[in-house]
Amino acid sequence: MSELQGELSELVDLTLQTKQAHWNVSGPLYLPLHEQFEEQVKEYREFSDRVAERILSLGASADGRPQTVVRTSPLGEYPAGYVSDEQAIRIEVDRLSKITKNTLARIERLAEPDPVGQNLLQEIEYTLEKHLWQMRIHFARPGGTGDGLPYTSTK
């Protein structure tokens, strides 16, 4: 249960931080990032709900209270105020790199006790890695790998 609760806390935090980016991004990439962040928020909310429902189906209560999220999420605080488009991308890459690493570890630990939960986290991992790639691509250089930013959680 703690694996799913950890995932829930991180997804709730990622949702709120990505919404903050959606509201406060500035710069030449404002519009595409604003729209991209909104799409990400929708997916993260859906996954948060599905993880919470899985926790409930296993007989435990889901804890998405702000205090729990702040206490247990490793993502760190999002900067206040406006953020440049480049800063917003770098922050999102950092957050996605952390959560994908944690999700992969949870997938391994859930294999035996909860294969259904493991399958759910695999689906989440796929989407998180897709968003990580989509953020990193903003820094891609011809013939390069993207300005030294982490490509996926597995590298």
Question: What are the tens digits of pLDDT across the range 49-102?
Answer: 999 999 999 999 999 999 999 999 999 999 999 999 999 999 999 999 999 999
Q: Count of CB atoms within 10 A of residue 114's CB? A: 18
CB 116 within 8 A of CB 51: no
Residue 26 belongs to what H/E stretch?
strand 25-26
Give me the domains of the chain, ranges plus CATH numbers. Answer: 2-139 (1.20.1260.10)
pLDDT band per the 50, 70, 90 thresholds, residue 152 = very low
- Output the average pLDDT for the chain: 92
CB 99 within 8 A of CB 72: no
The token pair that represents 142 in the structure block? 């011809």
Global pTM value: 0.90
Please give the average per-residue pLDDT across 128-153, as a whole number. Answer: 74
Instruction: Give the SS3 label for residue 140.
Output: coil
